[in-house]
Amino acid sequence: MEAVETASRSTSRSLRRVGILYDERMCRHHTPDDEPHPENPNRIRAIWNKLQSAGISQRCEVLSAKEAEDKYILSVHGKSHVDLIRNISSQQYNSRRNRIASNLNSIYLNEGSSEAAYLAAGSVIEVAKRVAKGELDSAFAIVRPPGHHAEHDEAMGFCLYNNVAIATNFLLNEKELGINKILIVDWDVHHGNGTQKTFWKDPRVLFFSVHRHEFGNFYPSNDDGDYTMIGEGPGAGYNINVPWENGRCGDADYLAVWDHILIPVAKQFNPDMILISAGFDAAVGDPLGGCRVTPYGYAMLLRKLMDFARGKIVLALEGGYNLTSISNSALACMEVLLDEKTVTGSTEAYPFESTWRVIRAVRQELKAFWSVLADELPTKLISQKAPIPKILISSCDSEAEDVEELLQGVIRPLSTLRVDEDRRESASVSWRSDLSNIDIWYATFGSNMWKPRFLCYIEGGQVDGMQKLCSGSMDKRPPKEILWKIFPHRLFFGRESTRTWGLGGVAFLHPESKNKDIVHMCLYRITLEQFNDVLHQENISSYDMSSPLFDLTSLDCVKEKGSINLEAVKKGWYHNVVYLGMERDIPILTMTCDLSDIENFKSGKVPLHAPSEDYANTLVKGLVEGGQLSEEEAVSYIKEAATKPL
Ligand code: Q9C
Ligand code: ZN
């Protein structure tokens, strides 16, 4: 279903109305003699060119910039500041312009600056208005100069007018738009000091900024971005800062902050609209940011926000200084807005220990205002951390006896991981593209029956009850179809604990069928490429995926023999791929233990063990939400499987 839609969409406009705003006139703001500067016109040109050559802009409504009216700018800035920016590019300022700029913090000015500043602010207003009215579902304004550092009476940090703050006030003041609560997410690597100050006492605007802080040593180098800065008066609690203690933060750090701060708070706040101060200077490769967010990371961060405000989201460019990084990051975000989920390239890492410390500090500071932040984070969760400067790549569910040793072998420096990533991907690209054209049914009998849990293996992330983060598949497209079937196999639970679910047994399927047994299976139609990524995640292995675990030859073999034991993941618990027949000409595959394991379970060498409550509940949820059983029936189905002798 999804595939058909995507195909028909590829030549036409998206089903979702997505706005994109670009205007060459914003390139006329540059350094006086065009001396090199990170915030230069090529930034927005690079993004625009990338979106055009990727066919993205063709699927969007393309808008051009409009100058903001002074009355809107004056809702954020003082009259003297507006007068200065309006006039700074005129001839009468020619002799004074450079001196004025040099008295400001990190600002240059030229003859094009005024116009560009008005266009940038006006453009964010323009797209925000259209999204608010429902003429567009969402939009991206590719603007410069950036805005989030600009304060009431001060241009700074490459910013002249605070574009996002101005658009926010515009939305709130145009009462007939019906926008009364706005969430601003500032994921630029720098603190959005100007935006914070604008809405400091305003409970209609929840300002959230995650930024490198280093205890006040990172630009703008003061305490404004500390987590203790929570707003004041009626605005108390409506300002949330997540200050990184160090650079090198990446997808895992940002996702942890989303999952444990931003998303729960967004749920409780329930915004009418979301504006993102979308700097891409936390991207891997940025010369100023020193962080490591991948395009996939940005896509995930954005996707998680699409569940709020009925998807009414506006992205406004802020910083971001590596032309390639910002273009790829912007592209990944546009794919999310267009809802065409083909973002690839994931990085598995745990958050830094310092990240958990910061998350706890923020939750502690704000729990009086947001009840969803009140619970202590489970120790199991926060003990998942990346050694500095090393990183743990790997995954979810595998439970090799010597997992710890195995994992030690997988620890390698972050730098190697990043540098090698391209090479690793290109080495694996040939098998991936081959296998991405082959569909299979992946038949699940355990926690994967619950769709959100299974999606972690595809999209990355984790759901309630899981104590580990999944890396996801390289191909993030969701299953093309889901279907339930009953098979004559025995479901049982064994082993004592898992890394993902903690204490308690996990589900296994007896690899042989027996007429009087029945098992409910949820079948996901995914590609053979994705099946490989699921196999990899289900069986923690040091296997590097430069070639597939299960290829076309294995597929032929399993069809003929009924099952196939995978040497490469021998130590994983689900190393046995079992063929369950065909469904509409597509093979049905599952993964479980092998017959020798069954002997060990029977002899007691490996224990049978009932599942934990969390894990059992996940199975029940799968069966109930999948429309297979009532809750009562599901509970007794699981109970029977957990108690009947093998
Ligand atoms: N030692 C934005 O990303 N750095 N602004 C100045 C002085 C200024 C970044 C360093 C960085 C400003 C929108
Ligand atoms: Zn920045």
Span from the CA of 156 to the centroid of ligand 1 (angstroms) = 8
279 lines ligand 1 (CB under 6 A): yes
Nearest to 485 by CA among 284, 313, 332, 623: 623
**Cα separation of the two ends of the chain:** 40
Residue pair 510/598 in contact (Cβ under 8 Å)? The answer is yes
Q: Say which DSSP state 390 is in.
A: E
Nearest to 357 by CA among 394, 385, 380: 385
Compute the distance between CA of residue 164 and CA of residue 146 in angstroms, rounded to an integer: 9
Nearest to 334 by CA among 318, 320, 314: 314
Residue pair 516/644 in contact (Cβ under 8 Å)? The answer is no
The 10s digit of each residue's pLDDT in 30-70 is 999 999 999 999 999 999 999 999 999 999 999 999 999 99
Candidate from 288, 321, 325 with most ligand 1 atoms within 8 A of CB, to mutate = 288
Positive or negative, the Cα torsion across 322, 323, 324, 328?
positive
Compute the distance between CA of residue 311 and CA of residue 183 in angstroms, rounded to an integer: 12
313-317/273-278 β-pairing: parallel
Span from the CA of 318 to the centroid of ligand 2 (angstroms) = 6
Query: Which residues carry out catalysis?
Result: 149
**How far is Cα of residue 454 from the mean position of the Cα atoms in its chain?**
16
Mark residue 581 as left, alpha or beta (left: phi above 0; alpha: psi -120 to 50; beta: remaining): left
572 lines ligand 1 (CB under 6 A): no
Residue 34 CB-density burial (10 A; 0-12 exposed, 13-18 middle, 19+ buried)? exposed
In this structure, which residue's CA is closest to atom 5 in ligand 1? Answer: 157
Span from the CA of 287 to the centroid of ligand 1 (angstroms) = 11
548 lines ligand 1 (CB under 6 A): no
**How far is Cα of residue 90 from the mean position of the Cα atoms in its chain?**
44
Query: Mean pLDDT across the chain, nearest whole number?
Result: 89
Q: Across residues 383-404, what is the average pLDDT?
A: 42
Q: Say which DSSP state 250 is in.
A: B
At residue 631 the predicted structure's pLDDT band, cuts being 50, 70 and 90, is: very high
The 10s digit of each residue's pLDDT in 309-320 is 999 999 999 999
Residue 520 CB-density burial (10 A; 0-12 exposed, 13-18 middle, 19+ buried)? buried
Compute the distance between CA of residue 395 and CA of residue 407 in angstroms, rounded to an integer: 10
Model confidence at 237: pLDDT above 90: yes
Span from the CA of 106 to the centroid of ligand 1 (angstroms) = 6
Span from the CA of 98 to the centroid of ligand 1 (angstroms) = 18
Which position has the higher pLDDT, 416 or 243? 243
Candidate from 158, 163, 195 with most ligand 1 atoms within 8 A of CB, to mutate = 158
In this structure, which residue's CA is closest to atom 12 in ligand 1? Answer: 157
The 10s digit of each residue's pLDDT in 175-213 is 999 999 999 999 999 999 999 999 999 999 999 999 999
Compute the distance between CA of residue 145 and CA of residue 167 in angstroms, rounded to an integer: 15
Span from the CA of 315 to the centroid of ligand 2 (angstroms) = 15
**How far is Cα of residue 631 from the mean position of the Cα atoms in its chain?**
32
186 lines ligand 1 (CB under 6 A): no
- Which pLDDT score is estimated for 391? 28
- Which pLDDT score is estimated for 403? 33
Model confidence at 11: pLDDT above 60: no
Written as six digits, the tokens of 78 are: 């003082």
pTM of the model: 0.63
**Nearest ligand 1 atom to alpha carbon 148:** 13
In this structure, which residue's CA is closest to atom 2 in ligand 1? Answer: 319
**Nearest ligand 1 atom to alpha carbon 156:** 12
* 244: β partners: 212
Q: Across residues 119-137, what is the average pLDDT?
A: 98
Written as six digits, the tokens of 510 are: 């007896």
Contacts 24+ apart (CB under 8 A), 541-548: 541/394, 541/398, 541/400, 541/406, 541/568, 541/569, 541/571, 541/572, 542/394, 542/406, 542/409, 542/410, 543/568, 543/569, 544/424, 545/424, 545/428, 546/424, 546/427, 546/428, 547/428, 547/431, 548/431, 548/435
Span from the CA of 517 to the centroid of ligand 2 (angstroms) = 60
Q: Any idea how long the chain is?
A: 646
Residue type, 3: A
Q: Which helix (H) or strand (E) holds 142?
A: none
In this structure, which residue's CA is closest to atom 9 in ligand 1? Answer: 157
The 10s digit of each residue's pLDDT in 483-539 is 999 999 999 999 998 888 889 999 999 999 999 999 999 999 999 999 999 999 998
Compute the distance between CA of residue 526 and CA of residue 468 in angstroms, rounded to an integer: 23
190 lines ligand 1 (CB under 6 A): yes
533 lines ligand 1 (CB under 6 A): no
Q: Which ligand is nearest to the CA of 159?
A: 1
The 10s digit of each residue's pLDDT in 488-499 is 999 999 999 888
Q: Across residues 21-31, what is the average pLDDT?
A: 98
Positive or negative, the Cα torsion across 579, 580, 584, 585?
positive
Calculate what percentage of the chain has a pLDDT beyond 90: 75
286 lines ligand 1 (CB under 6 A): no
In this structure, which residue's CA is closest to atom 1 in ligand 1? Answer: 219
Nearest to 57 by CA among 19, 2, 97: 19
Candidate from 40, 104, 106, 321 with most ligand 1 atoms within 8 A of CB, to mutate = 106
Q: Across residues 7-17, what is the average pLDDT?
A: 63
Span from the CA of 381 to the centroid of ligand 2 (angstroms) = 30
Give every CB contact of residue 608 below 8 A, 6+ residues apart in sequence: 492, 493, 494, 505, 601, 645, 646
Residue pair 441/583 in contact (Cβ under 8 Å)? The answer is yes
Written as six digits, the tokens of 432 are: 């991936």
**Nearest ligand 1 atom to alpha carbon 147:** 13
Compute the distance between CA of residue 334 and CA of residue 266 in angstroms, rounded to an integer: 21
219 lines ligand 1 (CB under 6 A): yes
517 lines ligand 1 (CB under 6 A): no
In this structure, which residue's CA is closest to atom 6 in ligand 1? Answer: 106
450 lines ligand 1 (CB under 6 A): no
318 lines ligand 1 (CB under 6 A): yes
Compute the distance between CA of residue 503 and CA of residue 497 in angstroms, rounded to an integer: 4
Model confidence at 471: pLDDT above 90: no
In this structure, which residue's CA is closest to atom 11 in ligand 1? Answer: 157
Residue pair 128/173 in contact (Cβ under 8 Å)? The answer is no
Written as six digits, the tokens of 601 are: 């379970």
- Which pLDDT score is estimated for 395? 27
506-513/489-494 β-pairing: antiparallel
Q: What are phi and psi of 590, to 5 degrees?
A: -135, 175
SS3 content of the chain, % helix, strand, coil (to 5): 40, 20, 40
Compute the distance between CA of residue 194 and CA of residue 217 in angstroms, rounded to an integer: 18
Residue pair 538/397 in contact (Cβ under 8 Å)? The answer is yes
Model confidence at 394: pLDDT above 80: no
Span from the CA of 283 to the centroid of ligand 2 (angstroms) = 11
106 lines ligand 1 (CB under 6 A): yes
Compute the distance between CA of residue 282 and CA of residue 247 in angstroms, rounded to an integer: 9
Compute the distance between CA of residue 575 and CA of residue 205 in angstroms, rounded to an integer: 51
Q: Which ligand is nearest to the CA of 219?
A: 1
457 lines ligand 1 (CB under 6 A): no
Model confidence at 287: pLDDT above 90: no
Span from the CA of 243 to the centroid of ligand 2 (angstroms) = 14
Model confidence at 426: pLDDT above 70: no
43 lines ligand 1 (CB under 6 A): no
Least confident of 14-18, 52-56, 67-71, 424-428: 424-428
Residue pair 82/70 in contact (Cβ under 8 Å)? The answer is yes
In this structure, which residue's CA is closest to atom 7 in ligand 1? Answer: 106
Span from the CA of 515 to the centroid of ligand 1 (angstroms) = 69
Q: Which ligand is nearest to the CA of 157?
A: 1
17 lines ligand 1 (CB under 6 A): no
**Nearest ligand 1 atom to alpha carbon 188:** 3
